[in-house]
Chain A
Amino acid sequence: MLSTDTDILKTAEGWRREGRGVAIATVVETWGSAPRPVGSHLVIDGDTNFLGSVSGGCVEGAVITEALDVIADGKPRMIEFGVADETAWQVGLSCGGRIRVYVERVD
């Protein structure tokens, strides 16, 4: 399925109406050569189904993990990703950019 902006937010609404736990992640700030522009969304449900993107696939895994906590406790979170530190296996952006992502639950 294609995931355009229209699909992503409609899907978020649809999933919630079905009774699923849903979180929306939004890119709120970027520095350098970030892969997705400010305002890009990723929606996640409690079973880690997801649609959309906040990067080129580099940090989605970490955002999904964080989203599960947000779905559980309802507290919005701001997470920041920088350049990947390969020796530490840390999640990051290999493009050299930095992004901030806001994750919130749909209530």
Chain B
Amino acid sequence: MRLSLLSDLNKERAARRAAVLVTDVASGDQRLIREAEVDGDLLAEDLGDALRRGKSGLVERNGRQFFLTVQTPPVRVVVIGAVHISQALAPIAMGLDLDVTIIDPRTAFAASERFPEVSVLAEWPDTVLPEIGIDRYTAVAALTHDPKIDDPALIAALRSECFYIGALGSRKTHERRIQRLTEAGFAEADLLRIHAPIGLDIGAVSPAEIAVSILAEIVASLRKDQRRSA
């Protein structure tokens, strides 16, 4: 592989753009196809399919074998609330190769010393979410317990194609949340996208255990979707 090609591949990943590296298995020839360049390519159909499924694999065309290395953007977890659970969640998420962004308008919470190596934005979710963009490789977890902060984030998430939405709070809290979001104009089917109470039911008690249950639910949403479309 040429170093420039490897460098381009890394750049696409950093910019959160999907791309496919095509290798002619017999000759070793390689080229990089960005998502926008798929149409019109000799392998357009295979490339489109591989990108949709997010899966690398071998394909054959005109008697030649090509290996498609599919690179989808790193999965990102946007956490609303720079709270105790988020402090436990950030390092575990990084170990899972997830990009973590934490948003909390309360500057005392959103202090970067509380979150080493993580992007922390001391802003209101409705201001900052459109700026950072929520794509289909993003999960949103609302953890502040405060509707003033969580609701605008959930509204932005519901309007996006993010693959996961979760919200912290009891069943009762969620009933009231559903009421507010219904009044804000969302249909029942939309609101079913919200995982609440957040996290897989593993009987989690401590912040770290709750973080594990949330991340397990995010991984399940990510991988089960891929399996269904496979």
Q: Are A16 and B3 in contact (CB under 8 A)?
A: yes
Which A residues, 24 to 47, have Cβ-Cβ distances below 8 Å to chain B? Answer: 24, 26, 28-29, 37-39
Contact of B55 among A13, A39, A104 (CB under 8 A): A39
* B112 CB–A CB distance under 8 Å: no
With A16-B3, A26-B67, A104-B1 in contact, is A9–B9 under 8 Å at CB?
A: yes
Q: Are B67 and A16 in contact (CB under 8 A)?
A: no
Q: Find chain A residues with CB under 8 A from B40 CB.
A: none
Q: Find chain B residues with CB under 8 A from A9 CB.
A: 6, 9-10, 13
Contact of A4 among B3, B10, B23, B97 (CB under 8 A): B97
Q: Are B69 and A107 in contact (CB under 8 A)?
A: no
With A2-B95, A16-B3, A107-B3 in contact, is A102–B23 under 8 Å at CB?
A: yes
Q: Find chain B residues with CB under 8 A from A6 CB.
A: 13, 74, 97
* A83 CB–B CB distance under 8 Å: no
Q: Are B57 and A38 in contact (CB under 8 A)?
A: yes
Which A residues, 62 to 107, have Cβ-Cβ distances below 8 Å to chain B? Answer: 76, 78, 102, 104-107
Smallest beta-carbon distance A76→chain B, Å: 5
Q: Find chain A residues with CB under 8 A from B94 CB.
A: 2
Q: Are B3 and A38 in contact (CB under 8 A)?
A: no
Q: How large is the interface on B (under 10, 10 to 19, 20 to 34, 35 or more residues)?
A: 20 to 34
Q: Which residue of A lies closest to B99 (CB)?
A: A6
Q: List 21 A-B contacts (CB under 8 A).
A: A6-B13, A6-B74, A9-B6, A13-B3, A16-B3, A26-B56, A28-B25, A28-B56, A29-B57, A29-B58, A37-B55, A38-B55, A39-B56, A39-B70, A78-B25, A104-B1, A105-B1, A106-B1, A106-B3, A107-B2, A107-B3
Q: How large is the interface on A (under 10, 10 to 19, 20 to 34, 35 or more residues)?
A: 20 to 34
* A54 CB–B CB distance under 8 Å: no
With A24-B1, A39-B70 in contact, is A106–B6 under 8 Å at CB?
A: yes
A29, B65: Cα distance in complex, Å: 12
Q: Find chain A residues with CB under 8 A from B95 CB.
A: 2
* B7 CB–A CB distance under 8 Å: yes
* B28 CB–A CB distance under 8 Å: yes
A10, B2: Cα distance in complex, Å: 14
What 0/1 pattern do residues 59 to 92 of B give for CB contact below 8 A with A?
0000000010111001000000000000000000
Q: Find chain B residues with CB under 8 A from A5 CB.
A: 71, 74, 97
Q: Are A76 and B55 in contact (CB under 8 A)?
A: no
Q: Are A28 and B3 in contact (CB under 8 A)?
A: no
Which A residues, 1 to 17, have Cβ-Cβ distances below 8 Å to chain B? Answer: 2, 4-6, 9-10, 12-13, 16-17
Q: Find chain B residues with CB under 8 A from A104 CB.
A: 1, 23, 28
